[in-house]
């Protein structure tokens, strides 16, 4: 059985050759003699009975089968590294650590349950959480301060890996004494023309609202506040309507402290997204936490 398993060292070499553009550069990246590298690649091609590289004086480029093999090898090597991480942490008795950032709605309403499930799955895991708005989380993920982030903004930089873990509904809320309290529908045009209580710039909630109202002439807000709780209090006190995640006003809607005014047409949703830099495939605690967030067993 063991003889049928692929040689991970040869696959690592092959991926290095594809990434670096030549056998010599791939061998140098791994600290291997070029002659040994050439022999290993030739043996791999002989075993598979297919050419994996097109060689020329300018270097080596993968064939169609070579590209397919390299992509599959990357996934296999990532899984092997994850396995080694788990084995190493088990031998050392050290907890697996993760630095994660979350924007406010996610941090308040979802992350505690995700972390509880993560603890059940990986008792050794230790997670350091930083709560900031979406723009700050994204910046710290880009800088490498955070290994993983969860954000609410639809505006994501192309340089980061991203995975939508769930959809979040945005709702218009007012106080019971507001003139919209008896309204059954509100248009985006009327919303744009009304001074709203909004979150601060950089907030995912604020950016999602701006995207919803793109193309409309939007008036200045009634208040700009730095937390969902502050926005809820201001709306309940009669400062004006707000557009917030349904998650953060669920209790206030149930108690009647706030009232929901439906949008005309279909409801409005936004993605809640995990973001990270580096390899596309997550491993270790980060991969497990994203799986929990996405509701995967």
CATH of the domain at 56: 1.10.10.10
Please name the residues in contact with 263: beta carbons below 8 A apart, sequence gap of 6 or more. 172, 185, 186, 187, 188
* Residue 52 CA from chain centroid, whole number: 34
Per-residue pLDDT for 282 more than 90? Answer: no
pLDDT of residue 244: 95
Weakest-pLDDT range from 1-15, 232-246, 261-275: 1-15
Among 34, 62, 92, the domain boundary falls at 92
Please state, in angstroms and rounded to a whole number, the distance separating the CA atoms of residues 220 and 12.
56
- Mean pLDDT, range 134-145, rounded to an integer: 94
Residue 258 main-chain phi, psi, to 5 deg: -125, 155
Domain identity same for 153 and 278? yes
- pLDDT over 80 (residue 156): yes
Q: Residue 189 pLDDT more than 60?
A: yes
Number of domains in the chain: 3
Per the model's pLDDT, the better-predicted residue between 85 and 273 turns out to be 273
Residue 89: predicted pLDDT: 56
% helix / strand / coil in the chain, to the nearest 5?
Answer: 45, 20, 35
Domain-terminating residue out of 67, 92, 117: 92
pLDDT at 101 over 90: yes
Q: Give the span between the Cα atoms of 197 and 10, in whole angstroms.
A: 59
Asked if residue 173 and residue 223 are part of one domain, the reply reads: yes
Q: What is the pLDDT of residue 58?
A: 87
Buried b (16+ CB within 10 A) or exposed e, 1-38: eeeeeeeeebbbbbbbbbebebbebbbebeebeeeebb
Domain end: 92, 122, 145, which one?
Answer: 92
The predicted structure's pLDDT at residue 14: 93
Kindly tell me the burial class for residue 156, based on how many C-beta atoms sit within 10 Å of its own C-beta (0-12, 13-18, 19 or more): middle
What digits encode the pLDDT tens for the residues 35-55? 999 999 999 999 999 999 999
Distances 245 to 170, 184, 228 between C-alpha atoms, Å: 5, 19, 9
pLDDT digits (tens, 9 = 90+) for 76-97: 887 787 677 666 655 544 447 8
Interaxial angle between packed helices 34-48 and 23-30, expressed in degrees from 0 to 180 and rounded to the nearest 10: 110
Residue 202 CB coordination number (10 Å):
18
pTM here is: 0.67
**Are 266 and 174 part of one and the same domain?**
yes
Taking residues 85-110, what's their average pLDDT? 77
Q: 285 and 150: one domain?
A: yes
Does 133 share its domain with 175? no
Same domain, 23 and 73: yes
What CATH number has the domain bearing residue 189? 3.40.190.290
CA pair distance 278, 238, nearest whole angstrom: 46
pLDDT confidence band for 124 (50 / 70 / 90) = confident
How much of the chain, in percent, has pLDDT values that exceed 90?
76
pLDDT at residue number 1? 43
pLDDT at 2: 47
Residue 267 pLDDT class (50, 70, 90 cuts)? confident
Cα–Cα distances (Å) from 118 to 18, 29, 105, 279, in that order, read 36, 36, 19, 22
In a shared domain, residues 267 and 183: yes
pLDDT for res 297: 52
Q: What percent of the chain has pLDDT over 70?
A: 95
Residues 177 and 239 in one domain: yes
Q: Are residues 147 and 284 in the same domain?
A: yes
Per the prediction, the chain carries an average pLDDT of: 90
Residues 176, 249, single domain; the answer is yes
Same domain as 263, residue 170: yes
Relative to beta strand 97-102, strand 126-131 is: parallel
pLDDT, tens only, 18-38: 999 999 999 999 999 999 999
CATH number at 111 reads: 3.40.190.10
8 Å CB contact between 173 and 226: no
pLDDT at 75: 86
Examine the pLDDT at 130 and tell me if it is beyond 80: yes
Q: Is 160 helix (H, G, I), strand (E, B) or coil?
A: coil
**pLDDT on residue 3:** 54
- Domain of residue 59: give its range: 2-92
Same domain, 151 and 63: no
């Amino acid at each position: 059985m063991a003889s049928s398993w692929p040689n991970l060292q040869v696959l690592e070499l092959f991926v290095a050759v594809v990434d670096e553009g030549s056998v010599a550069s791939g061998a140098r990246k791994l600290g291997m003699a070029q002659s040994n590298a050439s022999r290993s690649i030739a043996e791999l091609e002989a075993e598979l009975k297919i050419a994996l590289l097109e060689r020329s004086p300018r270097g080596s480029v993968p064939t169609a089968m070579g590209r397919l093999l390299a992509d599959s090898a990357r996934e296999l090597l990532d899984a092997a590294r994850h396995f080694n991480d788990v084995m190493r942490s088990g031998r050392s008795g050290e907890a697996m650590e993760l630095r994660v950032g979350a924007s406010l709605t996610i941090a308040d309403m979802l992350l505690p349950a995700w972390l509880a499930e993560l603890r059940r799955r990986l008792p050794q895991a230790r997670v350091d959480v930083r709560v900031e708005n979406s723009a700050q989380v994204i910046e710290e993920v880009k800088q490498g301060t955070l290994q993983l982030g969860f954000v609410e903004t639809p505006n994501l930089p192309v340089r980061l890996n991203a995975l939508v873990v769930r959809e979040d509904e945005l709702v218009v809320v007012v106080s019971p004494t507001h003139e919209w309290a008896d309204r059954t529908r509100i248009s985006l045009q009327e919303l744009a023309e009304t001074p709203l209580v909004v979150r601060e710039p950089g907030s995912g909630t604020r950016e999602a609202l701006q995207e919803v109202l793109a193309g409309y002439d939007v008036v200045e807000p009634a208040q700009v506040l730095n937390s969902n709780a502050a926005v809820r209090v201001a709306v309940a006190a009669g400062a004006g309507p707000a557009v917030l995640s349904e998650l953060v006003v669920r209790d206030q809607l149930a108690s009647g402290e706030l009232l929901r005014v439906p949008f005309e047409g279909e409801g409005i949703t936004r993605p809640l997204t995990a973001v990270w830099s580096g390899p596309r495939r997550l491993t270790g605690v980060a991969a497990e936490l994203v799986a929990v967030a996405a509701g995967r067993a």
